[in-house]
């Protein structure tokens, strides 16, 4: 008598997408969109110079670059759930340190903790969690997961302001840190500990499409010296330049807008920018054809941000329509700056190569843009008090974004015979 057939377990990959969406919401909301608010709150509370507090933001991002470069190794050594929970713990401790710092050295110690933790919830972590579950539908899956990053800005930018004004920086940091740690701990146990192999499933939920084992032909590219590969170099530098302009401007945009819009409206304006980021990333994730040249898509996204940066100059410190249009256009590209480079890597490199390329470009990008808050802080200190106002910041951001476009274009057409081996 034949055994009864049991229905196959539903594809678990979409559960991973949903959990990673929540992870990214906390990661970016606290570790990415938090520092611009922290910069303003710490400078206001202590009276410390903006360039010095900006340097702490630089330390936050710079240490994260060192951690993210070793993220695959940490995953192999300790497992995804443990690394994710420990990173979240570091981030929670770090933001409490930002609130409690009474001396500059304490602020920098806090930045070390927060910077080392948030990258376990950042771009490379999201890609590492999604990639095993999706090949053909990876652009849509990554777009959905990365939208959590933008939602983090929508929620946390005004939330930080409201909580700090209402209950104080220390209680706000403890409350948000505690909730974040509890939620991520549950997700790590229930979702992130699973892999396609542990559940007997295949990428995209395809029946019988078990992952192909690596061959000697696959292993050879893994040993490639990426730093001699023009595709890799132009992708890494293009991503770094685009993020440098973006992070440098975002780190100071909140405190630049407060005198014009006030704290409350500025928080909602920053949230509006991240709503635009969700729209921009969603359009790319769902509309972009599989055969599209993803470098050109990224260039178009940076071009929209260039226009937004220039509209800040047109607004000339006035809270009128040009300012809000600039915020919206600049926001449209925020999400694509982190989600498109991994998709470009997927299109231009083999799967074994991509597994190494993505953490490397994210680490290089973060190592570069880590200096953006301090660099823009110095630029602001040099020009902010003069007649030019914040105009040099906006001009610098636009110029660097144009350079990023040029860098990405320089990598087109290299090794055109390399197929998209998704």
Residue 383 pLDDT? 55
Give the integer Cα–Cα distance in Å for 27 and 118: 6
**Tens digit of each residue's pLDDT (9 = 90 or more) over 50-77:** 888 888 888 888 888 888 878 888 888 8
- What's the confidence (pLDDT) of residue 26? 94
Are domains 10-200 and 225-414 of this chain identical in fold? Answer: yes
State the fold for domain 10-200: Growth Hormone; Chain: A; (1.20.1250)
- Quick one: which of 330, 313, 297, 310 has its CA closest to 405? 297
The structure tokens 């959990």 sit at 19
Tokens found for residue 206: 């395809």
- Give domain limits for the chain: 10-200, 225-414
d(CA 246, CA 255): 15
pLDDT in tens, 12-43: 888 999 999 999 999 989 998 888 888 888 98
| Predicted TM-score of the model (pTM) | 0.73
Check if the beta carbon of residue 91 is closer than 8 Å to that of residue 31: yes
Per-residue pLDDT of 322-355, as tens digits, reads 888 998 999 888 878 888 898 898 888 887 788 7
What separation, in Å, do the N-terminal and C-terminal C-alpha atoms of the chain show? 43
Q: Please tell me the CATH code under which domain 225-414 is placed.
A: 1.20.1250.20
């Amino acid at each position: 008598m034949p055994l009864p057939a049991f229905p196959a377990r539903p594809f678990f990959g979409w559960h991973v997408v949903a959990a990673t969406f929540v992870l990214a919401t906390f990661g970016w909301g606290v570790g990415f969109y938090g520092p611009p608010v922290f910069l303003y709150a710490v400078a206001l509370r202590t009276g410390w110079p903006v360039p010095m507090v900006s340097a702490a933001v630089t330390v936050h991002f710079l240490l994260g670059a060192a951690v993210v470069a070793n993220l695959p190794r940490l995953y192999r050594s300790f497992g995804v759930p443990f690394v994710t929970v420990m990173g979240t713990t570091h981030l929670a401790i770090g933001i409490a340190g930002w609130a409690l710092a009474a001396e500059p050295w304490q602020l920098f110690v806090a930045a070390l903790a927060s910077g080392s933790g948030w990258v376990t919830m950042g771009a490379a972590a999201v890609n590492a969690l999604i990639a095993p579950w999706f090949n053909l539908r990876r652009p849509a899956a990554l777009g959905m997961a990365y939208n959590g990053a933008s939602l983090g800005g929508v929620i946390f930018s005004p939330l930080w302001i409201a909580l700090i004004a209402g209950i104080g920086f220390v209680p706000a940091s403890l409350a948000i840190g505690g909730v974040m740690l509890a939620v991520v701990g549950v997700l790590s146990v229930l979702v992130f500990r699973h892999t396609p192999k542990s559940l007997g499933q295949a990428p995209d939920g395809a029946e019988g499409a078990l992952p192909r084992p690596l061959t000697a032909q696959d292993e050879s590219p893994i040993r490639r010296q990426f730093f001699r590969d023009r595709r890799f170099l132009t992708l890494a530098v293009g991503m770094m330049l685009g993020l440098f302009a973006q992070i440098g401007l975002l780190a100071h945009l909140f405190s630049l807008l407060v005198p014009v819009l006030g704290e409350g409206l500025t928080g909602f304006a920053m949230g509006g920018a991240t709503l635009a980021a969700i729209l921009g990333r969603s359009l790319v994730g769902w509309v972009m054809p599989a055969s599209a040249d993803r470098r050109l898509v990224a260039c178009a996204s940076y071009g929209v941000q260039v226009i937004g940066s220039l509209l800040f100059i047109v607004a000339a410190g006035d809270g009128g329509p040009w300012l809000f249009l600039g915020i919206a256009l600049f926001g449209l590209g925020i999400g694509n700056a982190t989600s498109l480079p991994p998709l470009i890597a997927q299109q231009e490199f083999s799967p074994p190569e991509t597994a190494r390329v993505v953490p490397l470009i994210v680490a290089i990008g973060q190592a570069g843009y880590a200096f953006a808050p301090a660099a823009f802080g110095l630029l602001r200190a040099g020009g902010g008090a003069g007649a030019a106002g914040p105009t040099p910041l906006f001009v610098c951001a636009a110029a660097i974004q144009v350079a990023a476009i040029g860098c990405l274009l320089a990598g087109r057409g290299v090794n055109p015979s390399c197929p998209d081996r998704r």
